[in-house]
Amino acid sequence: MLEQFLAINVFHFLLVFSRLSIVFYLMPGISAGYVPARVRLLLALFLTLIILPLVKSTLPAQPTEAAELVGLIVIEVLIGGFMAGIIQIVMSCLMLAGDVISNSTGLTNAFVDDLVSEEQTAIVIGLLNIVAVVLIFTTGMHRLMFEAIIDSYNLLRPGESLMAGDVLSVITNMVNQAFYMGLKLASPFLVFELLFQFANGVLSRLSPQLNVFFVALPAQNLIGFAILMITLPTLMMFFLGFFENSLENFLNPGVASGRG
Domain that holds residue 7: 2-259
Write the pLDDT tens digit of every residue in 72-106.
888 888 888 888 888 888 888 988 898 888 888 87
pTM of the model: 0.78
Write the pLDDT tens digit of every residue in 14-42.
888 888 888 777 777 777 667 777 887 88
**Number of folded domains that form the chain:** 1
Write the pLDDT tens digit of every residue in 112-133.
665 555 666 677 888 888 888 8
Q: How many other CB atoms sit within 10 Å of the CB of residue 239?
A: 24
Q: Is 196 in contact with 109 (CB distance < 8 Å)?
A: no
Burial of 132 (0-12, 13-18, 19+ CB in 10 A): buried
pLDDT at residue number 222: 86
Write the pLDDT tens digit of every residue in 196-229.
888 877 877 777 776 767 777 788 888 888 888 8
pLDDT at residue number 7: 46
Q: Is 80 in contact with 18 (CB distance < 8 Å)?
A: yes
Split at pLDDT 50, 70, 90, the class of 252 is low
